[in-house]
Amino acid sequence: MDLLANVALGFSVALTPANLMFCFLGSVVGTLVGVLPGLGPVGAVAFLLSLTFKMEPASAVIMLAGIYYGAMYGGSTTSILVNIPGETASVVTSLDGYRMARQGRAGAALGISAFGSFIAGTLGVIGLMCLAPLLGRAALSFGPPEYFALTVTGLTLVSYLSRGSMTKALIMTTLGLLAGTVGMDPISGEERFAYGILTLRDGLGLVPVAMGLFGIAEVLENLTTVGQHAIYETKIKGLLPNLKDWKNSLWPIARGSCLGFFLGILPGPGPVIASFVSYAVEKRVSRYPEKFGTGVIEGVAGPEAANNAATAGSFIPLLSLGIPTSAIMALFMGALMIHGIQPGPLFIVKYPELFWGFIASMYVGNAMLLVLNLPLIGIWVRLLKTPYIILFPLILLFCLIGVYSLNANVTEIIIMLIFGVLGFLFRQVGFEGAPFILAMVLGPIMETSLRQSLLISRGNFSIFFTRPICAVLMVLTAAFLVSPLVTAKRKR
């Protein structure tokens, strides 16, 4: 009964006119971001973060979440129709989705991806609703050593799962942790690495750094290949998948939802990994694996369900442990902290209307996207033809205004530009920005818990190995660090 009352409370928050509007706004902006290749969801959330300061906390979170799952929907639309994935989580969708579109079955592919996403998104939200409070209660017994171990394991896993070299990801993680130490010492309040610059005394701002690394750097990277995008047109007939399509897709959607949800909980770019794993699984269990890549509907339904379920799953560690597991979740944490709300084990108990309102808004948002996406596909495709010569300057201008509007501080614009250049250069040599931003947010948590643990144990490091949860996490960390070395040896 408790659950029902909570869900009712949630809907009473999510269905207020203002919050409905923010949910709608978030979903639309998210779809837009997913459709347009110039800007990813991380950049968009970073940009809109600056506009959420004056909002109610619930509205802010609802809108930002809308962007996140909206981008998953939007990304699949362009993957299928024009073979340009708007964001990485829908790269897999283009394998079979675009083939289907070329065979004149774009409607079925779009339809199944929208319905699949809706079903998976809803299942994911239900999972989040059940699991987050449980985990939150368990986390109440966590002390500093557990938190330290969690951050270490999380960051190692993110590096382990990163697309390129693990060493490069570990370097980005360390640099991010160092960036997190700028400003005041979280325990003693002493100043570090500020060099007399007033803005740096409060630490490097999350928004300028994220917008530099993801917004500016992405546009700069696109500027190197200007004029090389070619777009093919596909005709869309009949958006509804037929009965056979449904029969083929039902199990992939179910499997994709479960896989996606649990992979989403793990640190790292959950939706991206979930979509790849789901594709691999579908191919393995299929009776005709050789047909994958030629336009099989299972190859669309599974990954699309998986990436949407993963978005729901990825909220769990943040909302119940207070530990973000990806760049986007780090930004969400920033959004909550700006309003003075500390996500963590007490979050659900202390702010029930915020938690349940947020959950309810995800149901509402998923339904909105279903309604929004199917009839409006034509408009999204037309938007894709917005000339980049207008699009890129606009994105840059919005970044400039967005950062300035935070604190009316010109220094933050300069910080954003510096990180834009750094992000661009790092991309050129194969370093990713995501581990950096995540580490920068986790840095203070990690440092505080490390120093407190050592105070408790009087300088004895065994405290991290004798407590059961810590020991398990540390063994996991060691395994992630060592396994690439082992596989490298075996190859030779």
Q: What is the CB neighbour count within 10 angstroms for residue 483?
A: 12
CB of 195 to another protein, least distance (A): 9
Site of interaction with another protein (CB under 8 A):
51, 54, 165, 167-168, 170-171, 174-175, 177-178, 181, 185, 188, 190, 192-193, 216, 219-220, 223-226, 388-390, 392-394, 396-398, 400-401, 404-405, 408, 410, 413-414, 417, 420-421, 424, 428-431, 446-447, 450-451, 454-455, 458-459
Nearer to another protein, 48 or 101 (CB): 48
What tokens were used for 123?
A: 């299942």
Nearer to another protein, 99 or 168 (CB): 168
Nearer to another protein, 58 or 152 (CB): 152
What tokens were used for 329?
A: 């979740």
Nearer to another protein, 279 or 388 (CB): 388
The pair phi, psi for residue 184, each rounded to 5°, is -80, 140
Nearer to another protein, 100 or 439 (CB): 439
| Among candidate residues 74, 427, 112, the one with its CA nearest the CA of residue 271 | 74
CB of 198 to another protein, least distance (A): 15
Q: In residues, how long is the chain? A: 492
Nearer to another protein, 248 or 405 (CB): 405
Strands (E), 181-286: 183-184, 191-192
| Among candidate residues 477, 440, 465, 429, the one with its CA nearest the CA of residue 177 | 440
Q: What is the CB neighbour count within 10 angstroms for residue 181?
A: 17
CB of 136 to another protein, least distance (A): 28
Nearer to another protein, 5 or 485 (CB): 485
Nearer to another protein, 219 or 263 (CB): 219
304: Cβ–Cβ under 8 A, 6 or more apart, which residues?
Answer: 76, 90, 93, 112, 113, 116, 117, 120, 256, 275
Q: How far apart are CA 164 and CA 176, in angstroms?
A: 17
CB of 94 to another protein, least distance (A): 20
CB of 159 to another protein, least distance (A): 10
Q: What is the DSSP string of 348-385?
A: HHH-HHHHHHHHHHHHHHHHHHHHHHHHHHHHHHHHTT
Q: Are strands 191-192 and 183-184 parallel, antiparallel or unpaired?
A: antiparallel
Q: What is the CB neighbour count within 10 angstroms for residue 62?
A: 32
Q: What b-and-e string marks burial along 25-50, b requiring 16 or more CB atoms within 10 Å of the CB?
A: bbbbbbbbbbbbbbbbbbbbbbbbbb
CB of 275 to another protein, least distance (A): 24
What tokens were used for 299?
A: 């190859």
Nearer to another protein, 357 or 420 (CB): 420
Nearer to another protein, 12 or 167 (CB): 167
Pure H helices in 297-351: 298-313, 315-321, 327-338, 347-350
